Structure 1
Amino acid sequence: MIGCVMTNATFPKAKMNKLADISHNGIARAIRPSHTTYDGDTLFVLGANQIEASFEAVSILAVEAVRRAIIAGTKTAATYGDYLAYQDV
């Protein structure tokens, strides 16, 4: 799984790295098992530096956004060859 969390909040580089790390909790909440040695779960974080915001609030929202995005992607994916999509099971 690969994804990107984008925010318009202003955080220093260290906090953005932490946000990327915390956002992986959204993967863990939506995919089981997650973060195994056989997958490449990766999240990037981009910031527009437009507003001041609470890091804790943005972290909570990022985790939930990642979780919801995975579920939405799973539900709307189409069958590809022999790989059945959720909606076709």
Structure 2
Amino acid sequence: PGRFADSAAQMQAGKVKRAFGVPANTTLAVVATNAAFSKVQVTKVAQMGHLGLARVLEPVHTTLDGDVVFALATGKVEADLNTVGMVGAACVAEAVLRGARSARGLGGVPAARDLAGEAGPRATDAEA
């Protein structure tokens, strides 16, 4: 009691044949920077931002969801593309964890804080 199903394990065991009801398992993220990047570079930042989703969501990018990362750059300062992408991925991961920790259950589906008490799960529990 008090635990979430391991969605990836359930899928691998053949216990999940279709989407989990209405397709509502989408995670949206935005990586915004003040760097002066071209369209191609901003696309790379978005691609790297997907690493943040993969670090904290399993499964991610299945046919059951619409996980996506958008990126934008305001063009104010020079910056290293790889550094911005790496930091962006770390920020996406942290944002997803914060969202999961602060969410409340809805429609009979419990959230992490509902299972761990009002204080929510410890950081180590959510990241494990």
Q: What TM-score do the two structures reach when normalised by structure 2?
A: 0.67
Larger Rg: 2
Query: 4+ runs of 1 displaced by more than 2 Å?
Result: none
Pair 1:61 & 2:92 matched: no
Cα distance in structure 1, aligned partners of 2:107 and 2:64: 22
Q: Comparing both chains, which one has the higher relative contact order based on Cα–Cα distances under 8 Å and sequence gaps of 6 or more?
A: 1
Larger helix fraction of residues: 1
Corresponding letter in the other structure for 2:53? I
The residue correspondences of 1:19-58 to structure 2 (distance < 5 A) are 19-58=45-84
Cα distance in structure 2, aligned partners of 1:18 and 1:30: 20
Q: What secondary structure sits across from 1:35 in the alignment?
A: coil
Counterpart in the other structure of 1:8: 34
Q: What TM-score do the two structures reach when normalised by structure 1?
A: 0.95
CA RMSD of aligned residues (A): 0.8
- Post-superposition Cα deviations, 1:4-32, rounded to whole Å, max 9, x if no partner, equal 11101111110111111111010000101
Aligned length: 89
Q: Which runs of 5+ in 2 are unaligned?
A: 1-26, 116-128
Q: What secondary structure sits across from 1:48 in the alignment?
A: strand
Counterpart in the other structure of 2:101: 75
Q: Which runs of 5+ in 1 are unaligned?
A: none
